[in-house]
Amino acid sequence: MTMKNRSTVLAIGLVVGLAGCASNTSLTEEGDVRFPDLESTYLKTGDFVDPDDVLRISEGQHKDQVRLLLGHPHFSEGIFGVREWDYAFNFYTGYADEYITCQYKLLFDREMRVTSTHWRDAQCPALLVPIQVEELAAEPRQEKVTLSGDILFGFDSDQLTFEGKRALERVVDAFHGATAPASIRIAGYADRFGDEQYNMQLSQARAESVGNYLVSRGVERSSLNMVGRGEADPIVDCPGQVATPSVRECLKPNRRVEMTLQYAH
Do 228 and 105 meet the contact criterion of CB atoms below 8 Å apart? Answer: no
pLDDT at position 20 is 39
The whole-number average pLDDT for the span 18-34 is: 56
Whether pLDDT at 176 is above 80: no
The torsion angle over the Cα atoms of residues 156, 151, 86 and 27, rounded to 10 degrees, is -100
Do 202 and 181 meet the contact criterion of CB atoms below 8 Å apart? Answer: no
- Extents of the domains making up the chain: 19-121, 132-262
- Four-way CATH pick for 19-121: 3.30.1450, 1.10.10, 3.80.10, 1.10.3470: 3.30.1450
Amino acid at 121: D
Residues in a beta bridge with 132: 146
Point out the least confidently predicted range of 151-155, 207-211, 223-227. 151-155
**Tens-place pLDDT, residues 119-148:** 999 899 988 888 888 888 888 888 999 999
- For 174, which DSSP code? H
Element (H, E) at 13: helix 3-15
**In 112-217, which residue ranges form alpha helices assigned H by DSSP?**
123-128, 149-152, 162-175, 196-216
Cα–Cα distance, 38 to 51 (Å, whole number): 20
- Four-way CATH pick for 132-262: 3.30.1330.60, 3.30.1050.10, 2.30.110.10, 1.10.357.10: 3.30.1330.60
pLDDT at position 139 is 81
What pTM was computed for the model?
0.80
pLDDT at position 119 is 95
Cα–Cα distance, 206 to 62 (Å, whole number): 25
**Tens-place pLDDT, residues 67-113:** 999 999 999 876 678 899 999 999 998 888 899 999 999 999 999 99
pLDDT at position 3 is 42
Cα–Cα distance, 43 to 3 (Å, whole number): 46
Residues in a beta bridge with 119: 104
Whether pLDDT at 62 is above 90: yes
> Strands 99-108 and 84-92, how do they pair?
antiparallel
Q: How confident is the model at residue 245 (pLDDT cuts 50, 70, 90)?
A: confident
φ and ψ at residue 218, rounded to 5 degrees: 105, 0
Question: Residue 42 burial (CB < 10 Å; 0-12/13-18/19+)?
Answer: exposed
Cα–Cα distance, 35 to 2 (Å, whole number): 42
Strand ranges inside the chain, DSSP E: 47-48, 84-92, 99-108, 114-119, 132-137, 142-148, 183-188, 224-228, 256-262
